[in-house]
Chain A
């Protein structure tokens, strides 16, 4: 098979490329240039591209760089900024997977005559008894990335490969060391790739792009308890920076009102809600929808490495889906993704709506 493997310059995609080569595929490595500005790995992530290129040379496979930076600005960075301006907390890695790593890259791979696109994600593709492709968790549960890949439709799963999905991270590093790859000891990437921590983090990044407004901290009775520097930087569920209540218990952000420049705060119990409403919900395929509506074994994951939450009921609504929890659960910030699993198989996912 002709396989285009996305190589980020990290150890996982390095080993993924090596495995594909060893399986006898005709492999071409591609590194996506996504962000042209400053980042913690240098401008244009030059050092990551260098690592990917060097690994490709060591593996004796071709390596290309695709410049998708315009798409990345339009589909990931600009929405990220615009969402914060209205008090929504998006997950840019999910949007990048959706728009860049899969839609854009898969379309280009197809146009260039490739059969498959592969990445170094910790996830696996299985088949149901009736032959439908399903995304499931990586063998290394601690590193599982199925959550950030939930948007892949069954039709796309037919054309992707996750070569290291069945391995533990330790095994991946061991294999990289055996192969003498320079990325063997490279730390896992963290956080948002286009925000530089040495450059002041999210506060400076957003502050350079949108107006920030100070906000009042108020409780349920409307009493002002304090203030925050920028209401745009507060995330629902956040505890840090909000101080301690008069009862000595920590306070959490329950709701953010950017226009009203206020943040509603309360206790951990106040965070609990019986359900969440999702919009932009997508099922892996129609069978997944039908099966899930009738399933009694559904769980949900609310963040990249969050626990599984038991779902008691799904209600289809006019513009999405309401997910009812078996027991009240901490609320999730609007804009974040909730992913539904049935017996560890991803069945769909969507974005949390405002309350």
Chain B
């Protein structure tokens, strides 16, 4: 059997989410901006979805901007949020969808500690260096699973940069944190459907009332002129269906999947001497679905091939345009020695993960590591 352990990259759609989109791919095909009965039907579906999504994430319907996904939402936020003159600031462990726009704007970066926690003293220092327009701090790190303490960091931001807009990349967080609560302290946050059982190509940027946002994509004026382009009606309806299901199961799934994750970590730590939990042994501040390890004496690239042959799909760090694995900027920012970082392994779980996936991984991974260590890899 195959063990799919790459849910943080993407996972299977929930069947209900597939079902929900089908009518909008067939007979309910209209453009919601139109002026006829078919259009009103599609418009109604989008409005219903917007209202339900708003209540699920702790926002008002008018705050929701449907987009093509997390990367678009983060780009829209970093380039467009705020009205004061100033730079963009983010943590050094953000996803590239935030990191690269901040770099493109000559922004500044905040350090993290050895366990991947954002250094609040450094945040204060960076904010004091000059005027800041937007600050972006993620909720859950996509590699290590570290859950950021937004509540206390938001206080630092409000005090040190009162004119700045505080944005949060919550793409990896929906299943593992109470989003409405976690994001109550930020002005804006982004989500992506395929990270919680919805389809690829749809997501949202949520912007609180009164927070200035300059559009990047101009045209038909959809989404209150903040994001032009015909709405992806099937995607939006499907995303909200997935969001509803994930929200309803969140508490029980965190317990169930957290237990599977602990079995993975404990099993591999016991079987593979020298292996470390990348973000430390305390798991309470980490997403239940992400297990991140560094295995000394192996190269991830080689390990992943053996795992694939053993029917275990996992990941190490992010890939570049060529498909080659790149060394992780997250692990580098945490100060993980390159020898250890070279053997990084991320196993991530989701709604469809089972005990059998974990058992398979624990059967396949240790001998694969042993084989590589034997050859000095």
Contact A66 B375 (CB under 8 A): no
Contact A107 B375 (CB under 8 A): yes
Which residues in A have their C-beta under 8 angstroms from that of B325? Answer: 65, 67
Known A67-B326, A107-B375: A112·B321 in contact at CB below 8 Å: no
Verify if B293 is at the interface (C-beta below 8 Å from A).
no
Q: Which of B13-21, B37-45, B85-93, B300-308 contacts A (4 or more CB under 8 A)?
A: B300-308
Contact A65 B324 (CB under 8 A): yes
Verify if B29 is at the interface (C-beta below 8 Å from A).
no
Verify if B371 is at the interface (C-beta below 8 Å from A).
yes
The B-contacting residues of A in range 17-70, CB under 8 angstroms, are 31, 33, 43-46, 49, 53, 64-67, 69
Verify if B130 is at the interface (C-beta below 8 Å from A).
no
Known A64-B305, A66-B301: A111·B375 in contact at CB below 8 Å: yes
CB distance from B341 to the nearest CB of A (A): 12
The A-contacting residues of B in range 358-377, CB under 8 angstroms, are 371-372, 374-377
The A-contacting residues of B in range 290-344, CB under 8 angstroms, are 299, 301-302, 305-306, 320-326
Count of chain A residues with a beta carbon within 8 Å of a chain B beta carbon: 19
The A-contacting residues of B in range 67-99, CB under 8 angstroms, are none
Verify if A306 is at the interface (C-beta below 8 Å from B).
no
Contact B322 A33 (CB under 8 A): yes
- State which of B305, B320, B324, B326 has its C-beta within 8 Å of the C-beta of A112: B305
Which residues in A have their C-beta under 8 angstroms from that of B305? Answer: 64, 112
CB distance from B295 to the nearest CB of A (A): 14
Which residues in B have their C-beta under 8 angstroms from that of A73? Answer: none
Which residues in B have their C-beta under 8 angstroms from that of A33? Answer: 320, 322, 324
Q: How far is the CA of A245 from the CA of B371 in the complex (A)?
A: 65
Which residues in A have their C-beta under 8 angstroms from that of B374? Answer: 111
Contact B320 A111 (CB under 8 A): no
CB distance from A272 to the nearest CB of B (A): 46
Contact B322 A49 (CB under 8 A): yes
Contact A46 B322 (CB under 8 A): yes
Verify if A108 is at the interface (C-beta below 8 Å from B).
yes
Q: How far is the CA of A28 from the CA of B61 in the complex (A)?
A: 51
- State which of B299, B301, B306, B322 has its C-beta within 8 Å of the C-beta of A45: B322
The B contact surface, by secondary structure, is loop
Verify if A113 is at the interface (C-beta below 8 Å from B).
yes
- State which of A65, A108, A111, A112 has its C-beta within 8 Å of the C-beta of B323: A65
Contact A111 B322 (CB under 8 A): no
Verify if A291 is at the interface (C-beta below 8 Å from B).
no
Q: CB-nearest residue of chain A relative to B371? A: A111
Contact B322 A112 (CB under 8 A): no
CB distance from B312 to the nearest CB of A (A): 15
Known A67-B301, A112-B305: A44·B324 in contact at CB below 8 Å: yes
Which residues in A have their C-beta under 8 angstroms from that of B376? Answer: 107, 111
- State which of A67, A107, A108 has its C-beta within 8 Å of the C-beta of B324: A67
Q: How far is the CA of A207 from the CA of B222 in the complex (A)?
A: 51
What size tier do the contact residues of chain B reach? 10 to 19
Q: How far is the CA of A67 from the CA of B372 in the complex (A)?
A: 17
Q: CB-nearest residue of chain A relative to B377? A: A111
Known A67-B326, A113-B371: A108·B320 in contact at CB below 8 Å: no
Verify if A78 is at the interface (C-beta below 8 Å from B).
no
Verify if A110 is at the interface (C-beta below 8 Å from B).
yes
Contact B302 A108 (CB under 8 A): yes
Contact A112 B301 (CB under 8 A): no
Contact B323 A53 (CB under 8 A): yes
Contact A43 B321 (CB under 8 A): yes
Q: How far is the CA of A110 from the CA of B306 in the complex (A)?
A: 12
CB distance from B372 to the nearest CB of A (A): 6
Which residues in B have their C-beta under 8 angstroms from that of A53? Answer: 323
Contact A66 B324 (CB under 8 A): yes
Which residues in B have their C-beta under 8 angstroms from that of A44? Answer: 320-322, 324
Contact B324 A111 (CB under 8 A): no
CB distance from A115 to the nearest CB of B (A): 14
- State which of B321, B326, B377 has its C-beta within 8 Å of the C-beta of A108: B377
Known A67-B301, A108-B302: A49·B371 in contact at CB below 8 Å: no
CB distance from A103 to the nearest CB of B (A): 13
Question: Per-residue CB proximity of B201-233 to A under 8 Å, as 1/0?
Answer: 000000000000000000000000000000000
Q: How far is the CA of A31 from the CA of B371 in the complex (A)?
A: 23
CB distance from A46 to the nearest CB of B (A): 5
Q: How far is the CA of A213 from the CA of B179 in the complex (A)?
A: 61
Q: How far is the CA of A46 from the CA of B322 in the complex (A)?
A: 5
CB distance from B374 to the nearest CB of A (A): 8
Contact A110 B322 (CB under 8 A): no
- Which of A53, A69, A111 gathers the greatest number of chain B CB atoms within 10 Å? A111
Q: How far is the CA of A65 from the CA of B302 in the complex (A)?
A: 11
CB distance from B345 to the nearest CB of A (A): 16
Q: How far is the CA of A66 from the CA of B325 in the complex (A)?
A: 7
Known A108-B302, A108-B377, A111-B372: A69·B321 in contact at CB below 8 Å: no
Q: How far is the CA of A69 from the CA of B323 in the complex (A)?
A: 13
The B-contacting residues of A in range 244-281, CB under 8 angstroms, are none
Question: Per-residue CB proximity of A67-81 to B under 8 Å, as 1/0?
Answer: 101000000000000
Q: How far is the CA of A318 from the CA of B82 in the complex (A)?
A: 72
Q: CB-nearest residue of chain B relative to A67? A: B324
CB distance from B78 to the nearest CB of A (A): 23
Q: How far is the CA of A67 from the CA of B319 in the complex (A)?
A: 10
Which residues in B have their C-beta under 8 angstroms from that of A69? Answer: 324
Q: How far is the CA of A67 from the CA of B318 in the complex (A)?
A: 12
Q: How far is the CA of A67 from the CA of B301 in the complex (A)?
A: 8
Q: How far is the CA of A110 from the CA of B325 in the complex (A)?
A: 20
CB distance from A246 to the nearest CB of B (A): 54
Q: How far is the CA of A279 from the CA of B94 in the complex (A)?
A: 50
Of the A-B pairs whose beta carbons lie under 8 Å apart in the complex, a sample of 21, sorted by A's number, is: A31-B322, A33-B320, A43-B321, A44-B320, A44-B321, A44-B324, A49-B324, A53-B323, A65-B324, A65-B325, A67-B301, A67-B324, A67-B325, A69-B324, A107-B377, A108-B377, A111-B376, A112-B305, A112-B306, A113-B306, A113-B371
**Given A44-B324, A69-B324, A111-B377; 10 other pairs, CB 8 A cutoff:** A43-B321, A44-B320, A45-B322, A46-B321, A49-B324, A64-B305, A66-B301, A67-B324, A108-B302, A113-B371
